[in-house]
Amino acid sequence: MRMRLTICSASSLLLASMAFGQAPSGAESPSQKTLAATVGLYVFPAKGQSSETQSQAEAECYGWAADTTKVDPFDLAKLAEKQQSSSAAAKEQVAQAGQGAGAKGAVAGAAAGALIGEIADNDAGGGAAWGAAAGLIGARRARRRAQQQATQQIDRQDQQQRQATVEEIEGFKKAFSVCLEAKEYLVKF
């Protein structure tokens, strides 16, 4: 049982350091960093508990906090990574959308210009040229505006998701802290 807990703790520590963007440095191996430290908590053994006892308490409290809040910071880190790549793909899709809009606008403008030119001064060719230019410019402006609005919407959604994730992690940290404090550790984050 103890061997499994040690392996589980070491794996959790390594995953946590990767999930929170903290690569283990050469001087600090994953086994030296506590589970609480990986989620940004400072824990002090107020009653002189051993590091083994503290590791066990942290593992228990981590599980309790995850069950209580229905939040696991490691899962949130994976979800945030997926969301980031999804947003990047959506932005790329927005950038690709409307390709050829200028040409379509030019064709529509040329048709309208030809009609107006023919009616106004019996010069369909000149009207078509002016209409094509106007249609091209108008279509490109409309595409640019639509892309900017779509990109802003994606950015707003990203910001809302990041804020929700921060709030979920803060709730998890509070629950984790309460459990450790009940086991007579001093905790700050």
The answer to whether the beta carbons of residues 110 and 132 sit under 8 Å apart is: yes
Q: Does residue 173 lie in a domain region?
A: no
Question: pLDDT over 70 for what percent of the chain?
Answer: 62
Residue 179 reports pLDDT greater than 80: yes
Both 11 and 66 in a single domain?
A: yes
Residue 50 reports pLDDT greater than 80: yes
118-135 tens-digit pLDDT: 555 565 566 566 666 666
Residue 178 reports pLDDT greater than 90: yes
Q: Does residue 142 lie in a domain region?
A: yes
Q: pTM surpassing 0.95? A: no
Q: What is the DSSP string of 122-177?
A: S-HHHHHHHHHHHHHHHHHHHHHHHHHHHHHHHHHHHHHHHHHHHHHHHHHHHHHH
What is the span of the domain harbouring residue 106? Answer: 77-167
The number of folded domains in the chain is 2
Question: What b/e readout covers 70-79, taking b as 16+ CB neighbours within 10 angstroms?
Answer: ebbbbebbee
Q: What is the pLDDT of residue 33?
A: 85
